[in-house]
Amino acid sequence: MNDKIRLKPATLSDAEALHHMQVTAFAPLLAKYNDFAISPAAETVEQVREKIARQDSTYYFILVNGTAVGGIRVKDHRDPNRRKIISPLFILAEYRNKGYAQQAIAEAERLHGEHGWALDTIAEEPGNCHLYEKLGYRRTGKTQKVRPNMTIIDYEKD
């Protein structure tokens, strides 16, 4: 983790580039689970554009030395009674296992406040679960069976 990441807010003109990165990063999971209903790899450019445009949402490029290595979206209602949500978070394959996702979450928490977070992930992906748990996120116990081999689990961090 020698390289420090920076989060750069995406604009509507970034939608196609962000969409391309998102689809590329999530394509292996889409192929593995064949889930076209909720996979970020199955989203359209228009759906990404809508997420960028939302008032309660900031979609960031994750930059390392000026190179976009992934993305993270934060839904923040700016209401202390509602949790901030990370969805999605991705790092392109060639940049994984360098601590960038961990740094991106820490930076998102710094920018949006350290408390009151939520996210979900695929239970069958132990690397994802390990990352979130290492950062202090705890399983809520809420699960959703999406496919016979795919369960979504919810995490929170106070």
pLDDT tens, position by position, 50-62: 999 999 999 999 9
pLDDT at 2: 66
Query: pLDDT at residue 1 above 60?
Result: no
* Other beta carbons less than 10 A from residue 152's beta carbon: 17
- In the chain the domains, ranked by start, together with CATH numbers, are 5-157 (3.40.630.30)
Pair 147, 158: CB distance under 8 Å? no
pTM of the predicted protein model: 0.95
Say yes or no to pLDDT of 133 above 60.
yes
